[in-house]
């Protein structure tokens, strides 16, 4: 990988971190999109995305928690079911071609979800939380998906909470940040347990992601208005996901 490639990827990853952190997300699907467009090997994509996700989600959680805290009662059942399966997903060995197709599908679905809920993020009225069984089932599915693909699961949890009317946008942002952080740590731990090492190529990108996440979460924790940004992100994810699914 050339220095020019590493440089433009650092900028792109930092921008992705800022945009995602502004709505409480770690940005793994954005990082996967950038790496897919750059032709990064699938064996590198998953651990790097999880590592960057831990960094960005931790920063987002810190900044959102300072402003309005985290709804632990809403988060708990999702997290209890998701964390063990995120570890299992990270530990599993997924063939390169299958991982590429799976991540591509996740990116396409993420794009569709982001586009569909661009305006949903503006809802602010509180609602009743989900039934316990639903929280546990969704948490388990998202946890396994998180570990296998390298996403934190928040890209699916946020639209679910908003569309089902289980929480308002600010509550969702805080819950998503915590959910993503826990799943990413578990998935990364599972990967290390099953594969014994992390790619060194992630080091130059961590500073860019940290700065982007800090700035993005700072803006988002004060004013959530990401409709246009979500649509732009949806386009990027759709292009990158289609590229991977098509095997280009």
Looking at the chain, how many residues does it have? 248
Best CA proximity match to 81, nearest among 38, 125, 33, 134: 134
Report residue 12 as tokens: 């792109």
* 45, HSE (Cβ side, Cα atoms, 13 Å): 31
Contact 148, 94 (CB under 8 A): yes
pLDDT tens track for 47-67: 888 899 999 989 988 887 776
Domain that includes residue 109, residue range = 3-245
For residue 17, pLDDT over 80 is answered with: yes
Please give the tally of structural domains in the chain.
1
pLDDT tens track for 137-182: 999 998 998 888 777 887 778 778 877 778 877 788 788 888 989 9
Residue with tokens 């305006």: 119
Query: HEC profile for 208-237?
Result: HHHHHHHHHHHHHCCCCCCHHHHHHHHHHH
pTM, two decimals, is 0.77
pLDDT tens track for 66-125: 766 688 889 999 999 999 999 998 888 777 777 777 777 877 877 777 677 666 544 445
pLDDT on residue 219: 78
Report residue 136 as tokens: 């546990």
């Amino acid at each position: 990988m050339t220095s020019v490639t590493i440089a433009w990827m650092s900028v792109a990853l930092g921008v992705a971190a800022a945009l995602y952190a502004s709505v409480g997300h770690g940005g793994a699907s954005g990082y996967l999109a950038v790496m897919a467009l750059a032709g990064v090997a699938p064996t590198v994509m998953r651990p790097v995305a999880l590592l960057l996700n831990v960094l960005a989600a931790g920063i987002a959680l810190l900044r959102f928690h300072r402003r309005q805290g985290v709804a632990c009662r809403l988060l708990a059942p999702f997290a209890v079911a998701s964390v063990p399966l995120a570890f299992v997903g990270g530990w599993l060995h997924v063939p390169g071609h299958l991982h590429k197709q799976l991540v591509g599908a996740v990116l396409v679905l993420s794009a569709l979800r982001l586009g569909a809920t661009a305006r949903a993020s503006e809802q602010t009225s509180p609602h009743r939380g989900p039934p316990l069984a639903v929280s546990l089932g969704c948490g388990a599915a998202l946890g396994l998906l998180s570990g296998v693909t390298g996403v934190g699961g928040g890209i699916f949890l946020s639209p679910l909470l908003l569309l089902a009317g289980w929480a308002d946008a600010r509550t969702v942002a805080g819950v998503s940040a915590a959910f993503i952080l826990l799943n990413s740590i578990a998935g990364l731990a599972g990967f290390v347990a099953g594969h014994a090492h992390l790619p060194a190529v992630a080091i130059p990108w961590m500073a860019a992601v940290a700065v982007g996440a800090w700035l993005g979460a700072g803006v988002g924790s004060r004013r959530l208005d990401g409709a246009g940004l979500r649509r732009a992100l949806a386009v990027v994810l759709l292009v990158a996901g289609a590229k991977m699914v098509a095997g280009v």
